[in-house]
Structure 1
């Protein structure tokens, strides 16, 4: 429900292979402001700050700064890779924001298959 895409910031995981120098991420790397950055302005009325601002504007939708609230890990996870028993997320993994948005990969980082 945010207005713009933002990069995902994976934690460095010791002893986990990287692809093209890019770190892997576990399914529990869902910390807003650390792994999942704000998406600009949120337009979801399920977000209390948007609802409050919209009510103050007499019903005119009033987007407010996005602060993702992620209640559950990335899914689906990798079926063959993990770090210390925690499955890795994949480019197909998604997670939901408590305010109605979906967090997903919209543009994969360049890797061996996309470089020349």
Structure 2
């Protein structure tokens, strides 16, 4: 069984150079230690904070800087490009009418990165 994810969870992107943080607004009014997350807490710069520098060549900023450096990879500041919800989420537990976010869920960035949850933000509530 996975852990329920809440605000303050530590995230990792496969192309990011630093960890990021999940920020959950208390709109659903469901809380463990902090407001609990659903699969729809995927908004860039609102819920998903930057991961330091980005190294994905699918990121237009990285591609332009790398081309200017004659092909030498140049990391640029991360701006998450997340549009789809977290997958898979918890099939039986709802937060604000949407499936709850558990620590096995992943989020895809349009720049090619896979965002995963390293630390769920709390360890007392388990969800399937």
TM value normalised by structure 2: 0.79
Deviations 1:31-65 (A, max 9, x none): 11110000000000000110000000111101100
Deviations 1:71-98 (A, max 9, x none): 2100111112223432221111111111
1:70 maps to: 82
Q: CA RMSD in A?
A: 1.6
Change (3 A) 1:85 1:14: closer
Distance 1:37 1:109 in 2: 15
Question: Does the CA-based 8 Å contact 1:13-1:24 persist in structure 2?
Answer: no
1:91-106 paired onto structure 2 within 5 Å: 91-106=103-118
The one of 29, 33, 38 equivalent to 2:41 is: 29
Q: 1:104: how far off?
A: 1.0
**1:4 paired to 2:18:** yes
Question: Does the CA-based 8 Å contact 2:36-2:95 persist in structure 1?
Answer: no
Aligned length: 111
Question: Does the CA-based 8 Å contact 2:58-2:112 persist in structure 1?
Answer: yes
Question: Does the CA-based 8 Å contact 1:70-1:97 persist in structure 2?
Answer: yes
Q: 1:13: how far off?
A: 3.4
Structure 2, unmatched stretches of 5+, are 1-14
1:55 maps to: 67
